[in-house]
Amino acid sequence: MYFKNAILSVFNKKGIIDLAKFLISKNVKIFSTGGTYDILKNNNIEVFKISEYIDFPEILEGRVKSLHPKIHGGILAKNSDIDQLEKLNITKFDLVVCNLYPFFENVNKNFDTDSLIEYIDIGGPSMIRSASKNFKYTTILTDPSDYDSFMDNFENIDYDFRFKMAAKAFNLTSAYDASISEYFNNKSNIEFPDYFAISYKKEDDLRYGENPHQKAAFYKKNNGFYFFNDFETLNGKKLSFNNLRDVDIAWKTVSSFSDCCCVALKHNTPCGIAIGKDTLESFNKSFECDPVSIFGGVVAFNRTIDFETAKKLKDIFLEIVIATDFEDIALDLLKKKKNLRILKVNNNNFENREFISLNGGLIIQNTDLILNNELNLVTKKKNYDIDLKEIEFAFNCVKFVKSNAIVVCDGFQTVGIGGGEVSRIWAAEKAFERSIRQPKIMASDAFFPFKDVVELAYKNGVKIIVQPGGSIRDQDSIDFCNENNIDMYFTNMRHFKH
């Protein structure tokens, strides 16, 4: 492809001077606008001002510079259109170098809407889309990292290169528009718009996906600050696909508690959850629930890790440790395990929507952030004087276990967890089989279709049961509890986790 005329109009000026000098050395005529024109001129690069070429000034404080037929006609023209361009005195543009006003960089800042919308680019996306549509005849560059490749292959720029640059350009403008759309939808309280578009930027290519034969990449959300937008890796290797999934659930679990909490997690499922007076106690109690499964797992804290806790963690093979912060001496100690991934959490914000990918579809739902609508004793009398926070602790724990889920607790500590079963009684059997001691409280993520789970709880010494309620056979379970001095509480809210 032979290059004669180029438009350079960029907000991000990285590499633009070197590219412009290269183009001049190849006898390419450069046209430019605004700040790009100024920086090229100040570097003694021959450049033509677009406003002079189109014989129309930049107006509205520079908001309208390139929206003109002499610009878009020159970008969109095919070889068969050259005669028409000549009659209209329009220059054919073979190259467009353009990137956008920094909406991505400013959408998360504390700007009011009037200020933020000034970062919405109009002319830039228009030129990019025009050049991308006409990629057979016009090369588009939107990323400074592509300048070197363009210059290295200048004499041999082919269809494949132009197609790839067009794909990259459309990807940019679609993400840009999606970010703007998401901002306006959020401001308008539109949770489920007719067309769903959200904006993410690739953070890293992963070694592989869930299994070694699957490719994968990690993306961060452009709008908003949540865990994965804002965490810091203080030590260890890059996070893998499975690491990222585990980190997500571990942090969601532990951050749902206000008291000092620790969760141990393996294969996306908690194997121990506990609250303690400090990180050491909460870890010891969490570890005690399942000292086997924690091997090679993830441990998360909603507090700063101190030195005594770090000593305990160092003695166990763990993949990942997550905390809000680390004492300096604790961090130094943990860093001695060079492969241990250490993550520092910088915020506790939760997205209000979550997504499930289907084969050709997407399910969007509100994030499950509410624990219960109510906590009502449904048995005839209260047999046990217990802090209701203990009951809520058990129900909060079961919320993060895969359905069907049963969690048994003693105080603010899980002592047995059963989940991911197709039958609730099987989940209950697992929880009791694995229980490290006699539990006091049993929690279920959904109602009991039969009273068999309640009967099993009684055989294992459970005193208090908390469940959503809602079964047509609820009364059978309540009657059994009344007959056997078990307190049963309904929450009127289930927590399936598939």
Tens-place pLDDT, residues 392-437: 999 999 999 999 999 999 999 999 999 999 999 999 999 999 999 9
**Surface-to-core class of residue 304, CB atoms within 10 Å of its CB (0-12 exposed, 13-18 middle, 19+ buried):** middle
Which residue out of 13, 68, 267, 463 is catalytically annotated?
A: 267
Q: Is the pLDDT of residue 387 over 70?
A: yes
pLDDT in tens, 192-238: 999 999 999 999 999 999 999 999 999 999 998 898 888 999 999 99
8: CB partners within 8 A, 6+ apart:
16, 19, 20, 30, 31, 32, 36, 40, 47, 97, 98
Enumerate the β-bridge partners of residue 262: 274, 301
Please name the amino acid found at residue 200: Y
> Annotated catalytic, 133?
yes
- Asked whether the bond before 404 is cis by omega within 30 degrees of 0, the reply is yes
Please check the confidence at residue 91 and state whether its pLDDT lies above 90. Answer: yes
Distance CA 70, CA 72 (A): 6
Please give the sequence-ordered ranges of beta strands (E in DSSP) within 333-391, or none if there are none.
341-344, 353-358, 361-366, 376-377
CATH code that applies to domain 223-344 = 3.40.140.20
pLDDT in tens, 452-478: 999 999 999 999 999 999 999 999 999
Mean pLDDT of the chain: 94
Q: What is the mean pLDDT of residues 71-92?
A: 91
Residue 52 has pLDDT above 80, yes or no: yes
Q: Give the SS3 label for residue 271.
A: strand
Beta-bridge mates of residue 233: 343
Q: Which helix (H) or strand (E) holds 418?
A: strand 414-418
**Closest residue by Cα to residue 416 from 407, 425, 426:** 407
The whole-angstrom separation of Cα 387 and Cα 410 is: 12
pLDDT per position as a tens digit, 158-194:
999 999 999 999 999 999 999 999 999 999 999 999 9
Give residue-wise pLDDT tens across range 104-151: 999 999 899 999 999 999 999 999 999 999 999 999 999 999 999 999
Rounded to whole angstroms, how far apart are CA atoms 462 and 477?
14
Rounded to an integer, the average pLDDT of 323-338 is: 96
As to burial, measured by CB atoms within 10 angstroms (0-12 exposed, 13-18 middle, 19+ buried), residue 439 is: buried
Paired sense of beta strands 376-377 and 487-490, if any: antiparallel
With H, G, I as helix, E, B as strand and everything else as coil, classify residue 256.
Answer: coil
Predicted local confidence at residue 472, as pLDDT? 95
Domain 223-344 shares a fold with domain 369-490: yes
For 231, list phi and psi in degrees, rounded to 5. -85, 160
pLDDT tier at 440, thresholds 50, 70, 90: very high
Distance from C-alpha of 67 to C-alpha of 76, rounded to nearest angstrom: 13
Stretch (H or E) spanning 489: strand 487-490
Q: What is the CATH number of domain 5-177?
A: 3.40.50.1380
Q: What residues are paired with 7 via a beta bridge?
A: 31, 96
Cβ atoms of residues 58 and 33 within 8 Å: yes
Question: Model pTM?
Answer: 0.88
Q: pLDDT category, 1, cuts 50, 70, 90?
A: low
Place of tokens 């571990």: 250
Set 13, 21, 29, 133: catalytic member: 133
CATH for the stretch 369-490: 3.40.140.20
CA 161 to CA 53: how far, in whole Å? 29
pLDDT at 39 (0 to 100): 95
**What average pLDDT does the segment 330-353 reach?**
93
Give the pLDDT score at 348.
Answer: 83
Nearest residue to 405 via CA among 393, 417, 392, 391: 417
- Rounded mean pLDDT of 30-55? 92
**CA nearest 273: which of 360, 156, 186, 399?**
399
**Any catalytic annotation for residue 68?**
no
Tokens 């001691």 — which residue?
Answer: 437
241: phi > 0 → left, psi -120 to 50 → alpha, else beta; which?
alpha
pLDDT at position 374, please? 86
For residue range 2-11, list pLDDT tens digits in order.
789 999 999 9
CB–CB of 396/371 below 8 Å? yes
Q: Is 217 helix (H, G, I), strand (E, B) or coil?
A: strand
pLDDT band at 60 (very low <50, low <70, confident <90, very high): confident
Per-residue confidence (pLDDT) for residue 58, from 0 to 100: 80
Residue 341 has pLDDT above 90, yes or no: yes
The two structure tokens encoding residue 349: 């914000």
For residue 498, pLDDT beyond 90: no
Domain ranges of the chain: 5-177, 223-344, 369-490
Judged against a pLDDT cut of 90, whether residue 311 lies above it is answered with yes
pLDDT bin (cut points 50, 70, 90) of residue 51 is: confident
285 — phi, psi (to 5°)?
-70, -40
Strands (E), 186-244: 200-205, 217-221, 232-235
